[in-house]
Amino acid sequence: MSPDSSPDSSPDSSPGARGAATELVFSYGTLQSPAVQEAVFGTRVPGEPDAVAGHAAGRLRILDPRAVALSGSDTHAVLLASPDPAARVAGTVLALDAGQLAAADEYESGACVRAAVPLVSGRTARVYVPRPQSPEPLVHRRVVVSGLGSVGAGLLRLLDQRAGDLRERHRLVLTVVGAVDSGGAAVAAGGLPPAALLDLKGRGSSAARLPGAGRPGAGVAEVLAGLGEDVDLLVEAGPGDLVHGGAGLAAALEARRRGLGVVLANKAPLVLAWEELVGGDGADGAPVRFSACVGASLPTVDLARRVLVSASALRVEAVLNSTCQLVLRAVEEGAAVEEAVARAQRHGVAEADPSLDVDGWDTAVKLVTLAAAALGHRAALGDVDVTGIRGVDPAQLQATRRRGEVVVLLGLAERVAGPADGAADGPADGPADGWRLSVRPTALPEHHPLARMDAQETGVVLHTDVAGRIAATGLHHDATPTAAAVLRDLVDLATTAPR
């Protein structure tokens, strides 16, 4: 629009004659410059110094090349509300006629609108301010939580505590519409109150006892079928069954069959049905996430994938089982293995049946998952050479420490050279495509990143060809960080996957 346009085209135009001063506009930027005025209005306009109180000046980037060419700058000054009432933005009050106002509108670009501000002089003037951005619309996702042990209950607690944060930072509303435990389920398409579920669990009861919503004996398949279209995401956090998959595997497959996104805290489905759940390359495209299964709150898979975008892994070392880490450190201080395990059980760190941890299979499961997700190497649990920590000799462990080494239960992925490498381009269906996986007690030099860890820390080290050595460790004392990893995955699926 040129300064010659009809005054009627400006909604703020007054009925005054063209050329009459009809609007006061406060400028604190380039419109004060005589050169800019000449270019925008075809003339200089009268002005008086004034100021706005309670504001500070900021800069807004302008991408319109005409505005940049006119003002000689690619940013415009903008007003920002200041917590300090004494803050002042000084500028000039310009008297503009309707045509000039329209020209100023165009000059200030589409990002600005006019607002009325009181000036220090007592007058009120129009001022150009950034156009208010309407907030992103809220995304609603309905979640079924299967398994209400420490991780599932921890997730309910976080969903309750962080609802405001999820809404403001991620524009996301996550509603629990189903909760399943060993006693049955609670279901409500309109949403279950997390606090009521947590109260039941805290009293050693089942979600199935929730008044009005309880379904004693119901399993995930029944819950999902009953909800029909009224569910978007499944969290599977039930007990793992590494041999048959059990209810957790069935739940994950049923959810995928229904087209739901799945977040796994249960590792068994990944080991037994990687292809069906995640797909060949473990790409982010699959609506399945499993951050909590490989390092709890430590995002091992994300970190490795990020580093390996432009580098190749030569070797991956990991200490992924905190029970073993705790037990080995206790043995180092003089305890027998059984005694240290019993102590970890009493402190609630080790499971009632600690054999999966102590015999190395929990580490092996995590290693297999990490290899599939970050290295693109598919292996079965049976392909991993596994030795647990039951047989470690306390005297030997202490002697190792004295000579400056530390024994950890190391999960290791090593590249193997030779003919096995030739199969790396083929379908990922065999164990021998260039990587060898093992889990065994290993002495590391004291300065190794995994030797330097605390007794309750877990970690992973990537040795790469061109990105150096990257190490990451996570320290946590209860299941909340694992629940935080589940929530991270839920946010990820809810904000990226289509529904």
Which residues are near its own copies by CB under 8 A?
56, 58-61, 63, 65, 68, 74-75, 80-83, 158, 162, 165, 170, 253, 257, 275-276, 296-299, 302-303, 306-307, 309-312, 422-423, 426-427, 429-430, 447, 449, 452, 454, 464, 466-477, 480-481, 483-485, 487-488, 491-492
What's the Cα-to-Cα distance from 302 to each of 4, 233, 263, 447, 491, rounded to whole Å? 58, 21, 15, 25, 15
Decide whether 302 or 339 has the Cβ nearer to its own copies: 302
CB of 88 to its own copies, least distance (A): 15
Question: What distance in Å separates the CA atoms of residue 22 and residue 430, rounded to the nearest whole number?
Answer: 81
Decide whether 19 or 430 has the Cβ nearer to its own copies: 430
Q: Which residue in this structure is represented by tokens 């960080």?
A: 481
Decide whether 309 or 352 has the Cβ nearer to its own copies: 309
Decide whether 118 or 445 has the Cβ nearer to its own copies: 445
CB of 443 to its own copies, least distance (A): 17
Give 475: exposed, middle or buried? Use CB within 10 Å, 0-12, 13-18, 19+: middle
Angle 361-362-367 (CA atoms, 0-180°, nearest 5)?
Answer: 90
The CA dihedral of 338, 343, 347, 350, to the nearest 10 degrees, is -10
CB of 355 to its own copies, least distance (A): 26
* SS3 state at 372: helix
CB of 249 to its own copies, least distance (A): 12
Tell me which residue of 315, 459, 441 sits closest to 389, measured CA to CA.
441
CB of 448 to its own copies, least distance (A): 10
Decide whether 61 or 346 has the Cβ nearer to its own copies: 61
Decide whether 53 or 311 has the Cβ nearer to its own copies: 311
CB of 426 to its own copies, least distance (A): 6
CB of 273 to its own copies, least distance (A): 9
Decide whether 397 or 484 has the Cβ nearer to its own copies: 484
CB of 134 to its own copies, least distance (A): 16
CB of 244 to its own copies, least distance (A): 15
CB of 47 to its own copies, least distance (A): 26
Decide whether 228 or 426 has the Cβ nearer to its own copies: 426
Decide whether 18 or 170 has the Cβ nearer to its own copies: 170
| 146: CB partners within 8 A, 6+ apart | 152, 180, 220, 234, 235, 236, 237, 238, 247, 248, 251
User: Contacts for 242-245 with beta carbons within 8 Å, 24 or more apart?
Assistant: 242/267, 242/268, 242/271, 242/272, 242/356, 242/361, 242/365, 242/381, 244/272, 245/269, 245/272, 245/273
* SS3 state at 457: strand
- 10 Å Cβ neighbour count for 124? 12
CB of 466 to its own copies, least distance (A): 5
Tell me which residue of 259, 267, 245, 248 sits closest to 287, measured CA to CA.
259
| 232 touches 143 (CB < 8 A) | yes
| 182: CB partners within 8 A, 6+ apart | 206
Give me the DSSP letters along 7-32. GGGSTT--SSPTTS--EEEEE-SGGG
CB of 458 to its own copies, least distance (A): 10
Decide whether 165 or 338 has the Cβ nearer to its own copies: 165
The CA dihedral of 237, 241, 242, 245, to the nearest 10 degrees, is -90
Decide whether 203 or 402 has the Cβ nearer to its own copies: 402
* SS3 state at 257: helix
Decide whether 97 or 433 has the Cβ nearer to its own copies: 433
Question: What distance in Å separates the CA atoms of residue 358 and residue 474, rounded to the nearest whole number?
Answer: 20
Q: Directed axis angle between helix 163-170 and helix 480-496, to 10°?
A: 40
Beta bridge partners of 385: 438
Return the structure tokens found at 376: 């693109």
Return the structure tokens found at 123: 């007058």
